[in-house]
A = this chain, B = another copy of it.
Amino acid sequence: MTDTVLSSPTRETVIGFDRPFVVIGERINPTGRKLLAEEMKQGDFSRVESDALAQVAAGAQMLDVNAGIPLADEPAILAQTVQLVQSLVDVPLSIDSSIVEALEAGLSVYRGKALVNSVTGEDEQMERVLPLVARHGAAVVAITNDETGISTDPDVRFEVAKKIVNRAADHGIPYSDIVVDPLVMPIGAMGTAGRQVFHLVRRLRTELQVNTTCGASNVSFGLPNRPAINGAFLAMAIGAGMTSAITNPLEPEITRSIMAADVLAGHDQDCAAWIKANRVPAAEGEGRRRSNRRRPVGT
């Protein structure tokens, strides 16, 4: 029954075992988005603004914010982006970078309790990121790889997660503030990728009692009709006990599948959210419908 509480100054989002699945909007990320990268580098944040508003309107309970632009001042841009997004929307943020200085810059301007994305099981990285997480009272995404890379054996990835949870405890970070990413491989390259994730999520939930998240879209890399694969994957992951994902809330097939899976997992009391979302006239469109899904919890 683990709850991971994230917050902005005016809203809490809780990732938890018996709660509706938390969608962390993935769009504010220049990786693979050349135009967005160029604009952010030039100081044009108009697309960041529209992505932030659209994702929250579509039901995202959190937003991931990444400013990984080659040859740019990532710490400064990430801090600026975090401030901008917090001025526009009230959902808590996931501050996303592989550069510790950028995480630090983002955290230093963040108001509330952020999710730091991410720490790996590499010793040097843990010793730099975990003190930062502890100092800011944040939560953190733990990625299940270490110095040896990503193991293709999910039970080895489980041990990496366990190592991070233990190390975090040494820094005073409780397991309830660790959200483990079991790492999702493309199913087209590795036929066992789905089963691995489901197996690992079950172990993480029952044995380590931690919440989980993932970059869901990776599973369908290289395949046709990716939203259908992503939607089924998320439903199956929810069935296995996954509690959040970094994904695209603007994709109707994905949000519909998550909402249906929440109903079936017993996380949508009296099917109220489902009935409400599916009763609104079709003309309103999926995004608008989903915007009614979950109200701010308030603080």
A residues apposed to B, CB below 8 Å: 187-188, 191-195, 198, 219, 223-225, 228-229, 231-233, 235-236, 238-240, 256-257, 260-261, 263-266, 269-271, 274-275, 278-279
Which of A233, A235, A265, A270 gathers most chain B CB within 10 Å?
A235
Contact A224-B194, Cβ < 8 Å, known A232-B260, A263-B229: no
Number of identical monomers bound together in the oligomeric complex: 2
A288–chain B nearest beta-carbon distance, Å: 16
Closest to A237 in B: B239
With a cutoff of 8 Å between Cβ atoms, the chain B residues found around residue A263 in the complex are 187, 194, 223, 229, 232
Contact A223-B275, Cβ < 8 Å, known A229-B260, A235-B235, A239-B239: yes
Contact A279-B192, Cβ < 8 Å, known A219-B264, A239-B236: no
With a cutoff of 8 Å between Cβ atoms, the chain B residues found around residue A265 in the complex are 194-195, 236
Q: How far is the CA of A231 from the CA of B275 in the complex (A)?
A: 17
B224 touches A264 (CB 8 A): no
What are 22 A-B interface contacts by the 8 Å CB criterion?
A: A187-B264, A187-B271, A191-B266, A191-B269, A195-B264, A224-B274, A225-B256, A225-B278, A228-B257, A229-B263, A229-B274, A231-B232, A232-B257, A232-B261, A232-B264, A233-B264, A235-B235, A235-B261, A236-B236, A236-B238, A236-B239, A239-B239
The 8 Å CB contact of A188, one of B193, B256, B260, B271, is: B271
With a cutoff of 8 Å between Cβ atoms, the chain B residues found around residue A269 in the complex are 191
Q: How far is the CA of A218 from the CA of B266 in the complex (A)?
A: 16
A228 touches B260 (CB 8 A): yes
B224 touches A266 (CB 8 A): no
With a cutoff of 8 Å between Cβ atoms, the chain B residues found around residue A198 in the complex are 239
Extra A-B contacts (19), CB below 8 Å, given A232-B263, A236-B264, A239-B239: A187-B271, A188-B271, A191-B266, A193-B264, A198-B239, A219-B264, A223-B263, A223-B275, A223-B278, A224-B274, A224-B278, A225-B256, A225-B278, A228-B257, A229-B263, A232-B235, A235-B257, A236-B236, A236-B261
